[in-house]
Amino acid sequence: MHIPDGILPAAVSAAGYATAGAATWHSLRQINQKEDPRESIPKASLLTAAFFAASWIHIPVPPTSVHLVLNGLLGAVLGYYAFPAILIGLFFQAVMFQHGGLTSLGVNATMMGVPALLAHFIFRLRNVVGKESRMWTGVFGFLAGAGGLGIAALISLILLVTTIPAHLDVEAERASIYALTLAHAPLMALEGAFTALVVLFLQRVRPELLED
Partner 1 sequence: MNLGLDEYAHLDSPLHRWEPRYKLVGLLVLAFAFSFVQDPRLLPAMLAAAFALYVVSRLPLSFLLTRLRVPGSFLLAVALLLPLFSGSTVLLRIGPLALREEGCLDLLLVVTKFIAILTTGLVLFGTAPFLTTIKAMRALGLPSVLSDMTLLTYRYLYEIGDDLETMETAMGLRGFRARRFNGRTLGVLASLAGSILVRSYEQSERVYKAMILRGYGHSSPPHDVAQARPRDVIALGGVLTLAAGFVATEILLRGFGG
The interface with partner 1 within residues 13-42 (CB under 8 A) comprises 13-14, 24, 28, 31-32, 36-39, 41-42
Instruction: Please tell me whether residue 98 binds partner 1 under the rule CB under 8 A.
Output: yes
Q: Which stretch binds partner 1 (CB under 8 A): 53-61, 120-128, 130-138, 181-189?
A: 53-61
Closer of 11 and 128 to partner 1 (Cβ)? 11
What is the distance of C-alpha 108 from the center of its chain?
10
Closer of 128 and 137 to partner 1 (Cβ)? 137
Instruction: Please tell me whether residue 193 binds partner 1 under the rule CB under 8 A.
Output: yes
Q: Which stretch binds partner 1 (CB under 8 A): 3-11, 122-130, 131-139, 178-186?
A: 3-11
Q: Is the link from the previous residue into 63 a cis peptide, with omega within 30 of 0?
A: yes
**Other C-beta atoms lying within 10 Å of the C-beta of residue 163:** 15
Instruction: Please tell me whether residue 46 binds partner 1 under the rule CB under 8 A.
Output: yes
Torsion of CA 78, 192, 71, 133, to 10 degrees: -10
Cβ 148 vs Cβ 71: under 8 Å: yes
DSSP H or E segment with residue 1: none
Instruction: Please tell me whether residue 188 binds partner 1 under the rule CB under 8 A.
Output: no
Q: What is the DSSP string of 31-69?
A: HHTSSSGGGHHHHHHHHHHHHHHHTTPEEEETTEEEE--
CB of 125 to partner 1, least distance (A): 21
Closest CA to 188 of 104, 69, 11: 69
Q: Which stretch binds partner 1 (CB under 8 A): 108-116, 130-138, 167-175, 178-186?
A: 167-175
Q: Which stretch binds partner 1 (CB under 8 A): 89-97, 123-131, 147-155, 181-189?
A: 89-97
Cβ 210 vs Cβ 74: under 8 Å: no
Q: Report the largest interatomic distance among the alpha carbons of the chain, rounded to a whole angstrom.
A: 54
Q: Which of residues 112-151 bind partner 1 (CB under 8 A)?
A: none
Instruction: Please tell me whether residue 62 binds partner 1 under the rule CB under 8 A.
Output: yes
Single out the residue of 15, 19, 30, 88 in contact with partner 1 (rule: CB under 8 A): 88
Single out the residue of 72, 75, 79, 84 in contact with partner 1 (rule: CB under 8 A): 84
